[in-house]
Amino acid sequence: MTEVAADLDRTFRALAEPHRRAILSSVRQQPRAVGEIAAALGLSQQIVSHHLKVLRAAGLVTGSRSGTRHLFAVRAEGLAVGKGFFDDFWPERLSALKQAVESSARTSDG
């Protein structure tokens, strides 16, 4: 398995869990501490910490210290792995759409 494939697997496994997606949404706009995330989502700090560990291992969040607080934020570079996978589908889908439109135009012209 290539490194890219392993990164993609880690990303999709991490994102498969609904709480992890909610945590990503929670830290998307600004860095937040575990307690803030837990309070916003109605989860325990222990559960949030576990999910953050998985998200961090997948490269989807980053942590930094601000005084005594440990803040977490989305790591956009980590999301690029999944985006790259889906981007590969667009040329194929756009080509199919183009063919459908051209076929429809020929049918209505003829």
For residue 109, the model assigns a pLDDT of 64
pTM for this entry? 0.76
Nearest residue to 45 via CA among 34, 53, 61, 54: 34
DSSP bridge partners of 80: none
pLDDT of amino acid 1: 74
φ, ψ for residue 101 (rounded to 5)?
-65, -45
pLDDT, tens only, 2-51? 888 888 899 999 999 999 999 999 999 999 999 999 999 999 999 999 99
The pair of three-digit structure tokens given for residue 32, joined into one six-digit string: 């937040």
- Report d(CA 11, CA 60) in Å as an integer: 7
54-100 confidence digits (pLDDT tens): 999 999 999 999 888 999 999 988 888 888 888 877 777 777 777 88
